[in-house]
């Protein structure tokens, strides 16, 4: 039997969704308050759009984007550099029995929404939609 991953199977379980949202809210709060001992990271305003957990809850991937979209690679590198401290703080604040290993990726959601809007505004697409 194949293991469930992010890309196949029936999708995330209620437990994965619940733990992912708990980590997302806690990570957002920690970053907003500047609870990490890294002045470079504390200078940034980072949005945590989503956190996905692996089926065994051992890995949590946070999809992040710095406010204004500038310095994206630097933000991900700073988060990765501080992932040990972030994991410790999240574990303490959430009370999870096992705090997942944190991974950070750029949140592409906004780029995808912009591309969808652009496509929907094209004349040929609008013409097709209006015909229906």
55-107 pLDDT, tens digit per residue, is 999 999 999 999 877 889 999 999 999 999 999 999 999 999 999 999 999 98
Domain boundaries, the chain: 14-131
Taking CB atoms within 8 Å and a gap of at least 24, the contacts of 29-32 are: 29/93, 30/86, 30/89, 30/90, 30/93
Cα→Cα distances 109→16, 47, 78, 112, 114, Å: 20, 12, 21, 5, 9
| CATH domain 14-131 topology | GMP Synthetase; Chain A, domain 3 (3.30.300)
| Contact in structure between 20 and 44 (CB atoms under 8 Å) | no
- Given a cut of 50, whether residue 3 has pLDDT beyond it is no
- Given a cut of 60, whether residue 121 has pLDDT beyond it is yes
Question: Using CA atoms, how far apart are residues 44 and 132, in angstroms rounded to an integer?
Answer: 46
pLDDT of 110:
58
Burial class for 51, CB neighbours closer than 10 Å (0-12, 13-18, 19+): buried
């Amino acid at each position: 039997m194949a293991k469930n991953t992010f890309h196949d199977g029936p999708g995330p379980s209620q437990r994965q969704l619940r733990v992912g949202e708990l980590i997302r809210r806690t990570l957002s709060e920690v970053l907003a308050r500047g609870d990490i001992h890294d002045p470079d990271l504390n200078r940034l305003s980072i949005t945590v759009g989503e956190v996905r957990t692996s089926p065994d809850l051992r890995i949590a991937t946070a999809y992040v984007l710095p406010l204004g979209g500038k310095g994206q690679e630097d933000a991900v590198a700073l988060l990765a550099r501080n992932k040990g401290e972030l994991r410790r703080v999240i574990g303490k604040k959430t009370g999870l029995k096992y705090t997942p290993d944190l991974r950070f990726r750029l949140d592409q959601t906004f780029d995808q929404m912009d591309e969808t809007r652009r496509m929907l505004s094209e004349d040929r697409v609008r013409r097709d939609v209006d015909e229906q």
